[in-house]
Chains A and B, each alone.
Chain A
Amino acid sequence: MSEWALLLIVALPLLALWIRSMFEVVRRGDYSATQRVTWTLILILIPVVGLASYVVARTSPKLRVSGERGDSSRAEELVLLAERRQRGELDDAGFHEAVAALRHG
């Protein structure tokens, strides 16, 4: 019983993390071919410690960064319009005209 519990609590997440890391290493665009091969070998050949070193060494994933994109939603567009007016790039009349177009367009 306790062996099963140990297997579930310890081995399963380790295995899941290992598989996830393997997939990540193989697909990483920012690693060179040599780096990818090296990390794959480390992950396969050195159990647990290899995984721990990869977890420490890998750089963190990208944050969700919003930017002034072309394909913005209507909500995003309203915010951009309001900000342009705030910066003085758009006058009140222009803003309200654009908002009307946004609502009914």
Chain B
Amino acid sequence: MVRIGVAAWNYVEPVDSEGTPRSSAKDKFISRLVSFLTRSVYREVEVFVPATLPRGTPTLAVSNHFGGFADALVLLDVMPRRPGIVARDVIWRTPLVGRLMNWIGAIPVHKPEDRGSASSNDEMFASCYQALADGGNLLIFPEGVTRNEPSIAPVKTGAARIALGARAHGVSGLSVVPVGIHYEDKAALRSRVFVNVGSPIDVDAAVAADSSRGHDVDANDRDAVRELTEEIATALRRVAPDYHDWSEAQLLTAGSEITLRSLVDDPAADVDLGLRDRLANTLADRPSERRGNICEAVSSYRDDLDALGYSDAELHSRLGAGSFVRSIVWQLLIGVFLFPFALVGAVINLIPFLVVKAVGALRVAPSMLSTLKPIAAFGAFGLGWGIVIWLCVRSFGWEAGVAAFVLLPVYLAAVIVLVERLALMWRLVRRRRATESVQQLPARLAERRAAVVESVLAA
């Protein structure tokens, strides 16, 4: 059974007289849950917000869709007010997922190619207009599909029709905010994710710019819809990854990272995922000849690095023996302190972890994986922890259950921190080895690295 329009009216956050959202207990619970999930799945969530972002006015966020369910999770976490998510109605057919969608107040949209669903989207449009009129947020993935290529699919007209229709229904001050989600590795656990928010498109201004049409533009005005859709597509290509192919995506990103590393004072520092991908995005827009130059320079530098067996960051971190030993001892101390808690955490979380790993080993598209993995993690860890809490209550009384509820996340955090400390120690060892074995950078390597930086800056 397909449920359309259920609960579509109650997702708007109530706003008090000063315009600050009053969040209910449910809102708080959802935001806690979402932030716990994202912070467990990702090592770092970075957001870039332009100074021009409007506050307190209705917004329609349009985002790229590389990661399926993970996209929604990340955006629910970083957007200041929980948006109503416009999603394909076929998602509602999966029993539990349908309930989840209703619970977070998602709005089902019918697509003509999905058979057996509603024949019109009138209800969807009405829900969206209502949400925006109440000063709420909406989130839509205007490509309409999850994507496994590092580029933006043709943008559908839905987002523009919602925006223009809402304006025709009396919503003023509406802005369309382009959002680009960049995954360091979308199938990996504990990697980084970066949310790039672009300059908002003022819908009133976009309509007024074409004065010949006057003010009676609505969702059925084909020219206006086409123009706004084009504007949205351009904005989306600027904020989201949009490369010709995976090889170009990798090479331009690597070139961007090397160039940025050459500009910071500490050459061993991790380059922010955000800075790296924002620069790489602008490189992807350059003429093909200049892109080719960068790719060529990066390829030959990378061949040299591979022959040597170290990465660019490792080669440029001069790690002295003294600070190496100090860092290792410090990490070991933290590790010893964390060990008992991490051990408890490992025992409790082993089975849910294996379940998630097993799901991760499925042979499906990466965007499907990033949908399945968070859902599997949610189910497996939720069930596992529920059992532990129930066992505690049954054997030691309800106070023990409450204590377990508080401590379970702490034990999991101990495992994560311990594993990451070990990874850090391994990186320190590699940096130290690089420092010792490569006393002087070979001239050819330095030259090739300089060529990468030049090609990026000259592009």
- A interface residue numbers (CB < 8 A to B): 5, 8-10, 13-14, 17, 48-49, 51-52, 55-57, 59-60, 63-68, 73-76, 78-79, 82-83, 85-87, 96, 99, 102-103
With A66-B47, A67-B50: A60-B279 Cβ-Cβ less than 8 Å? no
Contact residues in A for B341 (Cβ distance below 8 Å): 9, 13
User: From residue A28, how far is it (CB to closest CB) to chain B in Å?
Assistant: 15
Q: How far is the CB of A66 from chain B (nearest CB, A)?
A: 5
Given A56-B32, A67-B50, does the pair A82, B279 have CB atoms closer than 8 Å?
Answer: yes
- Tell me, rounded to whole Å, the shortest Cβ–Cβ distance linking B438 to chain A: 24
Is B406 at the interface (CB under 8 A from chain A)? yes
Q: Are A68 and B50 in contact (CB under 8 A)?
A: yes
B424 within 8 A of partner (CB): no
B contact residues, total (Cβ < 8 Å): 44
- Answer yes or no: B313 CB below 8 A from chain A CBs: no
Q: In chain B between 241 and 295, which residues have their CB closer than 8 angstroms to a CB of chain A?
A: 259-260, 263-264, 271-272, 274-275, 278-279, 281-283, 285
State A10–B403 Cα separation when bound (angstroms).
Answer: 8
User: A48 with B406: in contact, given A74-B263, A99-B457 (CB under 8 Å)?
Assistant: yes
| Contacting residue for B263 out of A8, A75, A85, CB 8 A | A75
* Residues in chain A near residue B275, CB distance under 8 A: 75-76, 79
Of B35, B49, B410, which contacts A65 at CB under 8 A?
Answer: B49
Render B223-239 as a binary contact track against A, CB cut-off 8 A, 1 for contact: 00000000000000010
- The count of A-to-B residue pairs whose CB atoms sit within 8 angstroms is 101
B406:A59 contact, CB within 8 angstroms: no
**Given B238, B279, B340, B458, which contacts A79 in the complex, CB threshold below 8 Å?**
B279
| Closest residue of A by beta carbon distance from B35 | A60
Determine how close the nearest CB of chain A comes to the CB of B452; give it in whole angstroms.
14
Name B238's contact: one of A56, A67, A87, A96 (CB within 8 Å). Answer: A87
User: In B37-51, which residues have CB < 8 Å from any A CB?
Assistant: 44-51
**Distance of B144 from chain A, by nearest CB (Å):** 25
Q: Residues of B contacting A67 with CB < 8 Å?
A: 48-51
A-B contact pairs, 12 of them (CB 8 A): A10-B407, A13-B341, A14-B406, A48-B399, A52-B406, A65-B47, A65-B49, A68-B50, A75-B272, A78-B279, A79-B278, A86-B285
* A31 vs chain B, min Cβ distance (A): 14
Residues of B within 8 A of A68 (CB): 50-51
User: A78 — which chain B residues lie within 8 A by C-beta?
Assistant: 259-260, 263, 279
Q: Which of B29, B274, B406 lies at the interface centre, i.e. has the most chain A CB atoms within 10 A of its CB? A: B406
**A14 and B403: CB pair below 8 A?**
yes
Residues of A within 8 A of B403 (CB): 10, 14, 48, 52
Instruction: Please tell me if B405 contacts chain A, counting CB pairs below 8 Å.
Output: yes
Q: How many Å from the CB of B139 to the closest CB on chain A? A: 17
B31 near A85 with CB under 8 A, answer no
B28 CB-CB contact with A under 8 Å: yes
Question: Residues of B contacting A10 with CB < 8 Å?
Answer: 403, 407
B32 near A96 with CB under 8 A, answer: no
Cβ of A64 and Cβ of B259 under 8 Å apart? no
Bound-state Cα–Cα, A9 to B404, Å:
11
> Are A17 and B263 in contact (CB-based, < 8 A)?
no
Cα distance A34–B142 when bound, in Å?
Answer: 46
